[in-house]
Amino acid sequence: LFGDLKRHTITDEGQETLGNELMAQRFVDRNIFMTAELWGLASTPPYGHRNDLTTIDEVIRAHGGDARDSAARYKSAAEEDRSALIAYLKTLVIEQ
């Protein structure tokens, strides 16, 4: 599963991707989404709730809100570490 199935604020006001939807989701704030599971991540591009991100790197960098600190740590990590993380995430495929 690799996810907590909880709702999280994943964007910041004014951010162009991942949230800020036009309509609320049945009384839930427009910037709050159910955490997507990581299993199968590499099989599901494009990414983001509007499918407007094409790479795993883009979607990690686009996170804000509750995930702001994690995104900042990713951005400040050494290129080698970011590449290793992306390589691992690309192994999470759903076999057809």
Q: What is the 3-state secondary structure (H, E, C) of 45-70?
A: CCECCCCCECCHHHHHHHCCHHHHHH
- Region 59-73: what's the mean pLDDT? 89
pLDDT digits (tens, 9 = 90+) for 4-47: 777 777 776 666 555 545 555 566 666 677 777 788 889 988 88
Q: What per-residue string of b and e applies to 24-35 under the rule 16 or more CB within 10 Å gives b? A: eeeeeeebbbee
Letter for the amino acid at 42? A
| Cα gap 64→13, rounded to integer Å | 9
| Cα gap 6→87, rounded to integer Å | 26
- The whole-number pLDDT of residue 7 equals 74
